[in-house]
Amino acid sequence: MPYNTKQRQAVLRFLEERPEEALSACEIAESLRQNQCPVGLATVYRQLERLEAAGRVHRVDTGEGALYQFCAQGGRRACFLLRCESCGRMIHLDCVHLEALCRHLSADHRFRVDPRRTILTGLCDVCCGEEAPHGTA
């Protein structure tokens, strides 16, 4: 069982307080440092690895490195993330349609989706409007 070090608490608490943000290991380490609670980058990575394995955080692989986000459901419910590929915004989605889709994939396609690792990428409402050809508000 893991020791309850202050670094461990710091990383988890930091993400817990920002459930709507997906952050890189670097950003987390940098912020903690400024918060008078410095944690080495390697340690941040090691804690994130554990937190992900424990189902406490989402991990989002992007082309520019992984992002980590607190998982409010503790991995129990199908809580998906939407990621805007234009502005990078992360949007929580706890929708009955997604749960239905998961059941369908499991039953009919024999594939068990892991909501914590699955990110639906696309365009959010704001960016969708911006990219429309008929007018840049």
Partner DNA sequence: TTGCGTGCAAAGGTTTTGCATGGCA
Partner DNA sequence: TGCCATGCAAAACCTTTGCACGCAA
Please report, as ranges, the residues that interact with a second copy according to CB under 8 A. 59, 61-63, 66, 82, 84-85, 91, 93, 95, 97-98, 101, 104-105, 109-114, 117-125, 128
- Does position 88 interact with DNA (CB under 7 A)? The reply is no
Do 15 and 68 meet the contact criterion of CB atoms below 8 Å apart? yes
14, 43, 57, 79: which one binds DNA (CB under 7 A): 43
- Does position 40 interact with DNA (CB under 7 A)? The reply is yes
State the minimum distance, in angstroms, from the CB of residue 2 to DNA: 3
Choose among DNA, a second copy, none what residue 134 binds, the Cβ cut-off being 5 to 8 Å by kind: none
* Owner of token pair 């987390």: 28
User: Is the four-CA dihedral 52, 57, 63, 64 of positive or negative sign?
Assistant: negative
Q: DSSP letters of 2-34?
A: ----HHHHHHHHHHHT-TT--B-HHHHHHHHHH
Q: Which two tokens stand for residue 111?
A: 């594939």
Q: Which two tokens stand for residue 114?
A: 């892991």
Footprint of DNA on this chain (CB under 7 A)?
Answer: 2-8, 24-26, 38-43, 45-47, 49, 63-66
